[in-house]
Structure 1
Amino acid sequence: MNRIKEVLDRKGIKQIWLAEQLGKSYNMVHSYAQNKRQPSIDDLYKIAEILNVDIKELLVSNKPEQKTK
């Protein structure tokens, strides 16, 4: 699972712009944003670079949050 749509929304960036920057079709980027497809690791790094975010911001953690006592 990824958080691409959330990061795009937070930064006010359109999916079509990301598609152009990434060299992918709008449909592909839309599929990434809707979590219907997952980008390759290489593409995920490119997306993080284009959006100027740490790659971790684009991913949903696979570990539940630890609650402190």
Structure 2
Amino acid sequence: LMGEFSVNLDLGYKIKDGKIRGRIKNVMISGNTYKMLKELVTIGRDARFVGSVRTPPLYFKEINVVG
């Protein structure tokens, strides 16, 4: 397994200095799962269903937005 992925992000937020500074809608993100996990800062408590997957909010230090 190489860990490469690309997926559509319906809604995300840009965070700067611990505060939400903007909204990101309908963009493609890509990267490597293993490298991205190293950028994981925190995991939220309120998990919800996104399609068939139940997931909490995730905050990454950095993420690759394709378009």
Greater percentage in helix: 1
Structure scoring higher RCO (CA < 8 A, sep ≥ 6) equals 1
Greater percentage in strand: 2
Which is higher, the Rg of structure 1 or of structure 2? 1
TM-score over 0.5 for the alignment? Answer: no
Give me the TM-score of the superposition, normalised by structure 1: 0.28
